[in-house]
Chain A
Amino acid sequence: MNAPDPFLDELVSAYVDGQAAPDEIARVEADPALIERARQFAALATAQNMAVPVNNDTRQRHLDTALAAFDELSVTTTHNESTSASSPTAAATATGAVADLSQRRMQKLSRRNQVLGVAAAVALVVMGIAGFMRLSNNTPSRAEFADRPALSTSANDDAMSDTVSDSSTDADALDVGRDPAAASDGVAAPFTVDEEMADDEMAEEEMADDAEMAEEEMADDAEMAEEAPFSADDDSLAAAAEIEPSTPPAAAPAASLDAESDLADASGGSAGAAAAQTSELDLFASADTVCPSVVTRNESSDLARVTATLDCFFVEVEAGRPITIDFNIATTEGDPVFYRYAFDGERFLVITDSRADAFGQPSVQAQTCETIARGDRLPQFTNCQPELHPGFPEAVRG
């Protein structure tokens, strides 16, 4: 092959990389010149793969500098954590992690309860005043008013009567009314003529909080949406396609909340897959609730839920605790492909069921594996054997 043909070189190059199509492979292997060219390309690859000699001093200097940068970052991170400890959102932003909003939701709920309490107090007072006005119009004596039954039998009545009798206009009372501790302790906030204004302020504050939380959640959603929806057709399931890191795993509880409904209303896929899907869910909806099973629907939230379950799974595996997780991963056409990863404390049972995939190669594969690594999206198992494992009844399906 004296004058390399660019087209043939591309074919040969793909052949060397194992990326050639069957007809391309046949063409290369039928031509001794192309085989020789492939051998040259392979030799080039081998030569490149030989490490360039490195001076030990240079290596140590590079590593020392990198570790010094790590130390510096650690100090900075520690400082940031200490200064933003009261702000989980700020901390999450600094680390690139998804903010845990549960604490804020609890605070918000507590504040909302306060507001509702105050609103109820206001309503009661208004009713009380209206009643008083009506009574006044009927010109009852003060003694008669005092003898009338209470306007309400609620638990707030005592506080209300105290509050009305106090009728304080002291601005400090607003602060007391906002004190979550006071509310949680069942101490009614004194009502003042400024309370409505305070209520408005709190409502505004709550709206601002709602807007802030919505923004954060939208930002999280947008961040997840930037990732390609998780799909069983994705190359990464087979091996590699990588997502540039930045989307941190969602909190496990969120995934667990979704899991039941996911399993309950899993839908989609080709018509031929529907029946199979229903029956497979019986087999592939793990009763193990430690790490929730996940059904994906080619939505932006898929990846976060899968990641959350995998995070949970790896925690259990590292702790040596038996665990089973199931995934029902939608192909791009929407057909379900089922994955079960069961760990018995020593080995993994890995089952892949693609029989409901109308667009793929329908098969059920079961294998036991000894090692696991966090792969691209789904884990990668090695040291596997296709033999059936008597400890896992599902393996008979293989």
Chain B
Amino acid sequence: MVIDDDQRLVQAAQAGDRSSLDALLRRHYDRISSICRRIAGNAADGDDATQEALLAIVRGLDNFDGRSKFSTWSYRVATNACLDELRRRKRRPIPASNDDQAGWLAHNEADDMPSFDERLAQRDALQRALDQLPIEFRAPVLLRDQAGLDYAEIAQTLDIPPGTVRSRIARGRSKLAELVIAGNQHMIDERQNPLP
């Protein structure tokens, strides 16, 4: 018989055990960081948002009552912290750097017509597309595809109706697919017809 390890760590952390909190945060750090990085759209804001998310989790841990999985709860807290951080900064995501694009171009010189999967597999292709995706679509898509929340949980996290979640995820994915293809094609065009 095994009781969920997260639950055990949460209970210990709530009782004041620092090492349990450390283990808990380490266990979920990469996922939280990825969510924040993708929501923020750039590494610098993503790092700051991750820090805010961890602090929000620590501060809210006493209020976590175990009715949901810790992972679900922490991703929700992290998402809201990241969105708050973005709103606070009122900053648009920074487009991918020229270095990133140069790296992508160098990688694709021999392939003018990559498949969708190949385009998607290119370094930073997804992140570039996500950066251009409006936040109202980006957040539900990330919560679904990266955090693994279901529609009801996403609706609760973003405070929108479940039906809206479904349509926004669909539109977000549609736009994302379009951006992955168009973005790569744009760079291919740029390479073939460089500006003076």
Contacts and interface: CB of A to CB of B under 8 A. Distances in A.
Interface in A350-398: 370-377
16 contacts: A4-B174, A4-B177, A12-B170, A17-B151, A41-B177, A44-B120, A44-B145, A44-B180, A54-B29, A62-B33, A66-B58, A67-B21, A69-B59, A96-B63, A240-B150, A370-B2
Nearest to A369: B1
Contacts of B146: 48-49
A248 B14 CA distance: 13
B7 A374 contact: yes
Contacts of B127: 52
B3 interface: yes
A377 B16 contact: no
Contacts of A14: 166, 170
A13 B29 CA distance: 28
Contacts of B120: 43-44, 47
Contacts of A375: 67-69
Contacts of B156: 241-242, 244
Contacts of A65: 51, 54-55
Contacts of A374: 4, 7, 66-67
Q: Please tell me the size bucket of the interface on B.
A: 35 or more
Given A66-B54, A70-B18, A48 B126 contact: yes
Contacts of B82: none
Interface in A228-260: 235, 239-249
Interface string A337-351: 000000101111000
Interface in B13-27: 13, 16, 18, 21-22, 25-26
A71 B18 contact: yes
A285 to B, nearest CB: 25
A40 interface: yes
A49 B142 CA distance: 9
A340 B51 CA distance: 43
Contact of A372 (B3, B59, B64, B126): B3
Contacts of A245: 60, 63-65, 67-68, 73
Interface of A: 4, 6, 9-14, 16-17, 19, 40-41, 43-45, 47-49, 51-52, 54, 58-59, 62-63, 65-67, 69-71, 73-74, 95-96, 235, 239-249, 307, 314, 317-318, 343, 345-348, 370-377
Contacts of A41: 173, 177
Contacts of B54: 62-63, 65-66
A318 B2 CA distance: 9
Given A12-B170, A247-B65, 19 more contacts: A9-B170, A13-B170, A19-B166, A44-B173, A47-B126, A49-B145, A52-B46, A62-B50, A62-B51, A66-B55, A71-B18, A73-B58, A240-B68, A242-B67, A245-B67, A249-B65, A371-B2, A371-B4, A373-B4
